[in-house]
A and B are shown apart, each in its own frame.
Chain A
Amino acid sequence: MNAVAASIRLHVTLPVQYVLRIADTCLIHAQRLAEWCGHGPVLEEDIALTNMALDLLGQARALLSHVGRLEGQGLDEDRLAFLRDERQYFNLTLVEQPMRRSSAHAPGGDFADTVLRNLLLATWLKGLWTRLGASADAELAAIAGKAVKEARYHQQHAGDWVVRLGDGTAESAARLHAALERAWPYTREMFSRDAVDIAAEASGLGPARDALRDAWLTEVAVVLAEARLAVPAETAFLSTGTVGRHSEHMGFILAEMQSLQRQYPGGRW
């Protein structure tokens, strides 16, 4: 058997971290959505969720390849996706939270968490991709131009589900409300602003996160109103995945994602 692959260590500049935040958010969100594969509530939605996971994975691949060039060590998308240590992932903390929690080893959650999270993230990504279409980085702008179409569809599909559950039965409304309460505290991180954002804004690489908030809130509020849900109050809690400090769930998701590349370095099939 091959030696286990060692971790890579990135030189994380501000622009590298900016792009990795988006790439890792897409990557980990895709990984979570892929957990639905074969477990969807109905066959048609099972296919829809995995199609969405593949869209997000495609976005992550394009961004990681770009990170490989920006970072300078010539790392390819696979090594970037699978050989980093936890602290060098910079995704939003929301995407690493358990999604399909009604599995054998983690009972409790449901489909409402998934559709709600999809709405919050697709709306955020759509706003981000739209702004990145005008990035000073031509490669990033090209990736954004393709991804924004996918995000628009994800937002519509997720939003339609949120309305159907929120304005459905008492049971579905209660579950969706609980899902909103669980997810909302993690949304603050989507709009916090730090040195990475300031540098990206100044160089024209892309928008600072706080610049995305007003449009996001307006669009999410429209869907929530149609679903008969109130927009929750902002919380004091600020999650920190975008600076590499993750929740307790991240180690498990990375272990599952990385095990194959770690055990069979460079493996192809």
Chain B
Amino acid sequence: MSTPGNEWPLWEIFVRPKAGLDHKHCGSLHAPDAKMAVQLAREVYTRRQEGTSVWVVKSSDITASDPGDKGMLFDPMEDKVYRHPTFYELPDSVNHM
């Protein structure tokens, strides 16, 4: 068995579904390099016709927000309902927006 030290790098996989417009994150896998990551993503995540396009990004290249900062970053939005456009009266003709 390989030790974590010489394992292949981890890649995040984004697949654009058949009818979809954007690539959606669907999981991660190990691969030796970017080109092989695309092929293995095809094998692992699109074998049931799930997609028509694949993006791969090295997991270590993603900068994420700190879970510890969750309160500071996201909680203040809780009481700011005025940021949702729900106070406008819509004319009947666009009522299904």
Say how far A232's CB is from chain B's closest CB, in angstroms: 26
- Tell me, in angstroms, the Cα distance from A157 to B8 when the chains sit together: 17
**Chain B positions 31 through 53: 1 when the CB is less than 8 Å from some CB of chain A, otherwise 0:** 11101100110011001000000
A48 within 8 A of B: yes
Nearest CB in chain B to that of A46: its residue: B43
Nearest CB in chain A to that of B35: its residue: A160
B side interface size, CB within 8 A: 13
A42 within 8 A of B: yes
A164 within 8 A of B: yes
Contact of B43 (CB < 8 Å), options: A44, A156, A160, A164: A44
A side interface size, CB within 8 A: 11
Contact of B30 (CB < 8 Å), options: A44, A48, A156, A157: A44
Q: Is the CB of A44 within 8 A of B44?
A: yes
B57 within 8 A of A: no
Q: Is the CB of B8 within 8 A of A160?
A: no
CB neighbours of B29 from chain A (8 A): 43-44
A181 within 8 A of B: no
Q: Is the CB of B47 within 8 A of A44?
A: no
Q: Is the interface of A mostly helix, strand, loop or mixed?
A: helix
CB neighbours of B40 from chain A (8 A): 44-45, 47-48
Q: Is the CB of B30 within 8 A of A160?
A: no
Q: Which residues of A from 42 to 82 have beta carbons under 8 Å from B?
A: 42-45, 47-48, 51
CB neighbours of A51 from chain B (8 A): 43, 47
CB neighbours of A48 from chain B (8 A): 39-40, 43
Nearest CB in chain B to that of A41: its residue: B2
- Tell me, in angstroms, the Cα distance from A188 to B8 when the chains sit together: 37
Say how far B42's CB is from chain A's closest CB, in angstroms: 8
Q: Is the CB of A160 within 8 A of B47?
A: no
Given contacts A42-B30, A164-B32, contact A47 B39 (CB under 8 A): no
- Tell me, in angstroms, the Cα distance from A107 to B15 when the chains sit together: 40
Q: B residues bordering A, Cβ < 8 Å?
A: 8, 29-33, 35-36, 39-40, 43-44, 47
Q: A residues bordering B, Cβ < 8 Å?
A: 42-45, 47-48, 51, 156-157, 160, 164
Query: Which 10 A-B pairs give the minimum distances between C-beta atoms?
Result: A44-B40, A48-B43, A47-B43, A44-B29, A157-B39, A51-B43, A47-B44, A44-B44, A51-B47, A160-B36
